[in-house]
Structure 1
Amino acid sequence: MNAAIERILQALEAAGCDPKPCGEGKWQSLCPSHELDGQKHHPSLSIGVGADGRVLLTCFGGCPVVRICDALGMKAADLFDAEKPRPGRKPGSNGKPKGGNGKPGGGDENHKAPGDEGKAYPTAAEAIRALEQRFGKRANLWTYCDKDGKPVGVVLRWNRPDGSKEIRPVAKDGEGRWRITGLAKPRVLYRLPDLLEADLRIPVVVTEGEKCCDAAMECGLLCTTSAGGANAARLSDWLPVKGRPVVVLPDHDAAGEKYGEDVAVLCHAAGAASVKVLRLADHAPGLPEGGDLADIVESSDWCGLPLPKDARPEDVGKWLLAEAESLPEWKRDPATEPGPVVVRLADIERKDIEWLWPGRVPMGCVTLISGRPGCGKSFLTLDMAARISTGTPWPDGETCERGEVLILSAEDDPASVIRPRLEGMYADLSRIHLLQAVRRADADGKMRERPVMLEDVEAVEEALERLPDCRLLVVDPIGSFIGSKTDTFRDNEVRSILGPLAALASGRGVAVVLVAHHRKAGASAADDLAMGSRAFTGVARASWHVLKDRENRARRLFLPGKCNLSAEPDGLAFAIAGVRPTLLWEHEPVSKTADDVAAEESQGSRGKRGPEPETRNRATEWLAQLLANGPLEAESIKEEAKLAGFTWRTIHRAKDE
């Protein structure tokens, strides 16, 4: 393990991202940029090491590397191992003048990493000595003690020549040995013994960072802070502030505000007698961006605080407590309080349903169009897109409002299929758009294109933001845009993908049409024909089926399934014809429903032995998915089938489908 990966892993650990090994030279953790919100997340950050020793960071939520580094308080340069040459540099060169390595202590051989990663030391002094062999003489050292005053952790700081800092923790493990790692959780607060011995009536001042806390002590204040930086407050035990008045001093930047809010929430939850937040920048106009109480104490004019020139640090402390007395108590925003969220219906503004295709396809909702392969589903959605692009009335004569269309298509080539079909329908091609890929930064900061997946609903939203007049989003077929890690037969997993998409449709007022395939065997209800989980039809507010007419092979039936937002509409019929193929719609409605056709087809299944078609269908699809990556031993299949709730006899019959 080189210095760079150790530095990143320790920063992730300190921030509460909980990095875990997941293979040789690989780790995974929560992303510090978007997953430290207190909610449960599946870790989306992948950490690895490149051939040149560089740390490779990949957030599958799409966070750029720069944003991840910012969240850790680091720079992109920290991803490189100082002991290995970076691309473009000669071996043995660090890109700086000879004699300096950019870290305290110079650049001679004595400051190379001694290879002690993961090593246990009998004393804290020996662990600190190992770090100083690597980084040189430390600038600061702060000791964390337990309630009995015994040291359990040390935090060291080195000041870099470029003005940045290097922070490394050393902590005692469960066996009394010392390791170069973060304090055990829950972490003790800094200066805990002083806090426990103090009178309950004395206000406790909470700062961000040990240096600032020492400045508060110099001002005569009872003070504390938590280990690990601005993102790790929740990893400490805040119960010692119970029954005490607390004054929080946020740093003068966004990270400081977040830390201050986190501390206020934690102290309130721990039972503090009161919590107040004092923003020093409101009273010290000379406080720099990112500044704190330490900057005020070090300043010749107290950064503009209303104090006389001959004031002492103790006067700063007295002013601070007096100012805090006049502040209102901090109260948590009710919108962020834990617990049930109850809304009176009288407070909900009524909203009428808007329609893309009146009575058939609603705006702001998901509509499912399904059918067997080759029955004309994609042709139908392109016909819809062409009408929207030109404002041509719908086949039943209803008005079609003109707008733009966004299409995600995985099966038809844009140049040889999609464009020619749209041209044959006389579409306005300037109003129809394809979302073909999404561009994201990889671990080395380079932008690369990758396929669009609905897990990355932010990419779809970004595309819609560029098309303010978009009225229709088509996903064709839905199965091609759900990642391989999602089990499309599990209702909760499918809903985790479609739920955000439905919320996006509602929020932007756009109609979303999902195209799905029918399974091979029949079903008693048409909406059960769609492949995969029933969540596909469950999330949809309207469901339509494209079916071949059994009495006329050239004729297609467009028939309703579920209709949550309107009375059940009539079906329609069309044919695909012409030199430039297009849809020819019939003027007369079709009285049949999709369930009628499904019932007719299921008649042919009666009298057959074996499981009901629905069970066999699910078993067939489950088996196909299980064997997608190659054959398996029969015993393995039998065990998996048992876990999935299928009998071995059903699997045998599914094999023949």
Structure 2
Amino acid sequence: MVSIPHNKLSNKRKSSKSLGKSKQVTPAIESPEAWAARYCTERGFDWEFAKKSDCERVDDAGAGRHGYVRRGGIIFHSNDPITHQRLTSGPLRHQHPIPYTEKGKAKERKFSQRKDSPYEPYFAPSMDWKRAFKDAKVDMILSEGPTRSLAGAKHERYVIALPGVNGHGSGDELHASLRRVIWKGRKVYICFDADAESNPDVRHHEQALARKLAKLGAVVYIVRIPQFAPRAGLDDLIGRSGDAGLQLQLDAAQPYNSEAAGVPIIECVADVEAREVEYLWDQRLPFSMLSGLEGNPGDGKTFIALEIAARGSRGQQPYSKAKCQPFNTLYMSYENITAITTKQRFSAMGGDQKRLFVLNGARNHDGTERTITLADVGTIEMAIKKTHARLVIIDPLQSYMGANVDSHKANETRPLLDALAKVAERLNICILIIRHLAKSSGGRAVHKGLGSIDITGAMRSVMMVGTAPDEPQNRALVHTKSNIGPLGESLRFSIEGKDNTAKVAWKGTSELTAADLAAPDAGKRRETQIGRAQKYLLTALADGPKPVNALVEGRDGEFSLQVLQKAGKELGVAKSREGEGGAWVWALQEFKFARKKAAQMSE
């Protein structure tokens, strides 16, 4: 049993006596007019358009007079699409949702229907449905909820809004109002909310509707809304990205197979033409894939990213200065002000300013501006195409995840990154994602990035920036992960200059590893590690030369080859090959000294 309280909301302030001695501030209450205007604008149309489309704003008493629950809001009066006669089935969207409980869980009811009125599809009154029903050349979109139909109508799109995902009719029959449409040969897009693919019930009705339409001869496509909010819909998408954003999703829609819903897309490896990985920066930044750059605040992540962009704008790779085709960069950052930071740093690094573009946000259809998130993948792709960028820098990732996405949950982050990866592959560009390190200590360096480990999993190549523990005045860039080839050498660099005119100065290669950069008290730990490695070498080589492979494998692989090389260099270890092309062998030059030194260090 579902109980819904019908009592009116009270906006009266409590008396000062009931509040006690402490002074409390009553939050501002949004007026019905302001709420209605905001509600419509966020969904891709304005209140004036809504009024012309037979929408009515009512208070509690007005809602009661129309036969609804006495809770004010907007009535979306429903009209017959052919005769334009007003029906009784229009829903009411409450300004203040009605709380209720169902199976012990607290919920909110945002829409109400007149008592005993039928649930009918909604047709935006401003559209010429009589003509569209007969003309199969007119594309149609089927969604759910009246605001979807109005948002589409604002851009002259024919959107039929079902009263719910199950409102397409019972059994194999379409709803009576939908049977008036000539479906044969018509292109139809089914566009349910963003949870359509993950919600089994929504998915079931999506496929059932597609099957019915396909049987009637319609050419059916399934549209996926980016999940920038848990249940984002067609109207939310238009409100964020305009009609162009919707068009991108329609272009990417997948055709429904009437014989087998969800038919697998298979390619035979024998039919695939092999190709080599292409790099924007050799070994480190591949085209067509996502790459990462991680580090603590202030360690130089943005400097390195802009150094890559600046060098590339002049046709050079970083560090090696190897020649490449000059390229444009699209820079995304809410942390850095273009005029103060980005422009000056890029110029100090010698970048061609005509090749750097900054994506500051998106402009809605009504002229208002807003920030973007990774869910706005359509907007990002449009920006890439408009600027002809080969490199996209996202600085940092956390600024673009969105308020409704938990970066520690793989099931929420992976769809966003997968969609972004598809853009990289489709446009053959490099996308570099900057990420802060987590505060927690311990664990492998590759797991240090803030958020879900699956974020690292989505990246094909990852680099880490940090202060060099053995040279605190310098920093290091370490290649920590590559799924497509060998790791690049670790590089030392410093930041030279002051404030926003500082730039990267490369200092050569390094033996530092990601573990060295990520470890707490890295300098002290590294000295301890080198010291332990020296003790190990003195003991292992005290009785004579040994192959270097045996040394690396000894002590269960405690020391990497780089650490042993550093320790061996400080001890003056002699290195030689056993014959032509043979294994490398290490030896101490003075066995007596070695035994004595080993004994001293073990005390």
State the TM-score, normalized to the length of structure 1: 0.50
Deviations 1:454-506 (A, max 9, x none): 222222112112112x1111111111122222111112212132221122212
Q: 2:367: which partner in 1?
A: 447
> Hey, what does 1:648 align to over in structure 2?
none
Aligned residue among 395, 401, 414 for 1:476 = 395
Q: Is the 8 A contact 2:63 2:69 kept in 1?
A: no
Q: 1:239 corresponds to which letter in structure 2?
A: G
Alpha-carbon separation, structure 1, partners of 2:464 and 2:370: 32
Are positions 1:424 and 2:348 aligned together? yes
Q: Kindly state the Cα deviation for residue 333 of structure 1 after the two structures are TM-superposed.
A: 3.5
User: Residue deviations 1:401-446, cap 9 Å, x none?
Assistant: 21111111122222122111111112111110111121114xxxx3
Separation in structure 2 between the aligned mates of residue 583 and residue 119 of structure 1, nearest angstrom: 66
Post-superposition offset of 1:379 = 0.8
Residue type of the partner of 1:354?
E
| Aligned match for 2:446, one of 503, 527, 551 | 527
Counterparts of 1:597 and 1:278 in 2: how far apart (Å)? 59
Residues 264, 275 of structure 1: 8 Å contact kept: no
Match of 2:544 in 1: none
Which among 395, 410, 414 is matched to residue 319 of structure 2?
Answer: 395
Alignment of 1:32-111 (within 5 A): 50-51=32-33, 54=36, 56-57=38-39, 64-65=44-45, 77-78=52-53, 81=56
Deviations 1:24-72 (A, max 9, x none): 89xxxxxxxxxxxxxxxxxxxxxx9841785644587xx6328x99xxx
1:512 to 412, 424, 431: 431
Contact 1:404 1:432 in 2 (8 A): yes
Contact 2:441 2:520 in 1 (8 A): no
From the superposition, tell whether residues 425 and 77 of structure 1 become closer, same or farther in structure 2 (CA, over 3 Å): same
In structure 2, give the amino acid aligned to 1:235: G
| Counterpart for residue 363 of structure 1 | 287
2:188 aligns with one of 258, 265, 269: 258
1:239 matches 2:171: yes
Instruction: Map 1:545-564 to 2 at 5 A.
Output: 545-564=464-483
Structure 1 residues without counterparts, runs of 5 or longer: 1-20, 26-47, 85-111, 121-130, 136-154, 172-177, 188-207, 214-227, 280-330, 607-657
**What does 1:251-330 correspond to in 2, within 5 Å?**
251=182, 257-258=187-188, 266=208, 275=215, 277=217
Equivalent residue number for residue 436 of structure 1: 360
Cα separation, partners in 2 of 1:502 and 1:601, compared to 1, 3 Å: farther
Contact 2:476/2:512 (<8 A) preserved: no
Change (3 A) 1:573 1:24: farther
Whether the aligned pair in 1 keeps the contact of 2:88 and 2:114 (CA below 8 Å) is no
How far apart are residue 554 of structure 1 and its match?
2.0
- The question of whether the paired residues in 2 share the 8 Å contact of 1:437 and 1:451 is answered with yes
Q: Distance in 2 between matches of 1:426 and 1:264?
A: 54
Distance of 1:520 and 1:278 partners within structure 2 = 55
Look up the match of 1:94: none
CA deviation after TM superposition for structure 1 residue 83, in Å: 8.4
Distance apart, 1:358 and its partner CA = 1.4
How many angstroms does 1:507 deviate by?
1.5
Distance in 2 (CA, whole Å) between partners of 1:568 and 1:212 is: 60
Q: Is the 8 A contact 1:477 1:514 kept in 2?
A: yes
SS in structure 1 of the partner of residue 293 of structure 2? strand
C-alpha separation between the residues in 1 aligned to 2:218 and 2:344? 65
Q: Which amino acid aligns with 2:171?
A: L
AA of the residue aligned to 1:433: F
Counterpart amino acid of 2:368?
R
Question: Equivalents in 2 of 1:24, 1:447: separation in Å?
Answer: 35
**C-alpha separation in 2, matches of 1:428 and 1:504:** 25
The Cα of 1:344 is off from its aligned counterpart by 2.8
Cα distance in 2, alignment partners of residues 440 and 519 from structure 1: 35
- Once residues 190 and 304 of structure 2 are traced to their aligned partners in structure 1, the CA distance between those partners, rounded to angstroms, is 55
Corresponding position: 1:410 with 2:334: yes
For residues 313 and 266 of structure 2, the distance between their equivalents in structure 1, rounded to whole angstroms, comes to: 42
Query: Do structure 1's residue 565 and structure 2's residue 474 form an aligned pair?
Result: no
Look up the match of 2:270: 346
8 Å contact kept, 1:356–1:362: yes
Amino acid at match of 1:115: R
Partner of 1:183: 118
The one of 491, 505, 510 equivalent to 1:584 is 505
RMSD between superposed Cα atoms in Å: 4.9
What does residue 12 of structure 1 align with? none
Which stretch of structure 1 is more off in the superposition, 231-240 or 261-270?
261-270
Q: What letter corresponds to residue 118 of structure 1 in structure 2?
A: Y
Alpha-carbon distance in 1 for matches of 2:489, 2:311: 20
Question: Does residue 409 of structure 2 align to residue 490 of structure 1?
Answer: yes
CA distance in structure 2 between the partners assigned to 1:259 and 1:411 by the alignment = 39
What SS class does the counterpart of residue 489 from structure 2 fall into?
coil
Give the corresponding residue for 2:545: none
Give the match's secondary structure for 1:333. Answer: coil
Counterpart residue identity of residue 357, structure 1: W
Q: Could you say if the C-alpha distance between residues 574 and 602 of structure 1 is closer, same or farther in structure 2, counting changes exceeding 3 Å?
A: closer
Give the distance between the partners of 1:558 and 1:278, measured in 2 at CA: 56
- State the AA in 1 paired with 2:118: L
Which amino acid is the alignment partner of residue 66 of structure 2?
A: D
Query: Does the aligned pair in 1 maintain the 2:469–2:517 contact within 8 Å?
Result: no
Structure 1 pair 391–253 and aligned structure 2 pair: CA distance change class (3 A): farther
Give the Cα separation in 2 of the matches to 1:475 and 1:116.
51
Is the contact between residue 260 and residue 277 of structure 1 (CA under 8 Å) also seen in structure 2?
Answer: no
> CA-to-partner distance for each residue in 1:493-550, whole Å, 9 max, x for gaps?
1213222112221221111111111233433321111112112211111110111111
Alignment deviations for residues 271-297 of structure 1 (CA, whole Å, 9 cap, x no partner) = x9x945499xxxxxxxxxxxxxxxxxx
- Check whether the contact 1:54–1:81 (CA below 8 A) recurs between aligned residues: no
Instruction: Give the count of matched residue pairs.
Output: 390
State the SS of the aligned residue for 2:325: coil
**Using the alignment, how far apart are the partners of 2:433 and 2:208 within structure 1?**
44
CA contact (8 A) 1:453 1:483 kept: yes
Cα deviation, 1:208-261, whole Å, max 9, x if unaligned, reads: 99x999xxxxxxxxxxxxxx994549624453669xxxx98744899x643999
Tell me, in whole angstroms, the C-alpha distance in 1 between the residues paired with 2:34 and 2:88.
24
CA deviation after TM superposition for structure 1 residue 602, in Å: 7.2
Q: Which residue of 2 aligns with 1:540?
A: 459
Amino acid at match of 1:367: S
Going from structure 1 to structure 2, the CA distance change for 1:545 and 1:182 (only over 3 Å counts) comes to farther
* Partners of 1:515 and 1:430 in 2: CA distance: 23
Distance 1:376 1:475 in 2: 15
The one-letter code of the counterpart of 1:361 is L
Letter in 2 for 1:385: A
What do residues 98-134 of structure 1 show as CA deviations (whole Å, max 9, x unaligned)? xxxxxxxxxxxxxx987133269xxxxxxxxxx9xx9
* 1:258 counterpart SS class: strand
Which residue does the alignment assign to 1:462? 382
What is the CA distance between 1:338 and its match in structure 2?
2.5
Q: 1:265 to 1:565 in 2, by over 3 A?
A: closer
CA 1:332/1:526 → structure 2, altered by over 3 Å: closer, same or farther? Answer: closer
Letter in 1 for 2:324: C
Preserved CA contact (<8 Å) 1:394 1:400 = no
Q: 2-side partners of 1:545 and 1:527: how far apart?
A: 9
